[in-house]
Chains A and B, each alone.
Chain A
């Protein structure tokens, strides 16, 4: 079975802190994604990566950066956390390829910025 693991299920951080959210997948997938989920807004794409050291901005990249130094790990970085970044963060991965291969999600991280 594909396994996508996010480092924390719940996280509380202070305004202004630098925050790292980690995601690891064990299936050698090329593509990895970070989404945030907010009530009434659904899932919105922050960043995605299609290979090591390769990244593209999603729909809402402002205030975030990412790092992909190894194929299995995709990190989301909040450079200076703010209260409007309080949200549910979801990581996903899938193999690269035409025909839109199936994507798999981690368990999610509920981040609260106080």
Chain B
């Protein structure tokens, strides 16, 4: 099945710094999602992005499907950005394909 790798596994930032989180996948995909897991465990949808670039406030994401990667940019980081960031891609081509996740990137933003 498709493999998803995220890097770096852990990231520590000072508040106000910028960061780039990476997601590589082993096969072509027709979509990709980025999630943020908050301290209570819930996965919050950040981006739904098959290709191109999207922006939402201080966060933006770029997916280059032909090169099999996606990047999540966090600018002017805040302590509330702390948590685990996951990317997920379809596990297959069918309409009922499952989500396959990377192992996540743990971000800690220090005040």
Contacts and interface: CB of A to CB of B under 8 A. Distances in A.
B97 A100 contact: yes
B96 A45 contact: no
B53 interface: no
Given A33-B99, A100-B90, A100-B97, A88 B41 contact: yes
Interface stretch (B18-26, B28-36, B71-79): B28-36
Interface residues of B, number: 25
B95 A105 contact: no
A106 B29 CA distance: 25
A105 B50 CA distance: 19
B99 A92 contact: yes
Nearest to A41: B103
Interface residues of A, number: 30
Q: B interface, by DSSP: helix, strand, loop or mixed?
A: loop
B103 A42 contact: yes
Interface string A43-75: 101001010000010100000000000000000
Interface of B: 29-31, 33, 35, 40-43, 45, 48, 50, 86, 88-90, 95-99, 101-104
19 contacts: A9-B40, A35-B101, A42-B102, A42-B103, A42-B104, A43-B86, A48-B96, A90-B43, A92-B99, A98-B30, A100-B50, A100-B90, A100-B97, A102-B45, A102-B48, A103-B33, A105-B43, A107-B42, A108-B43
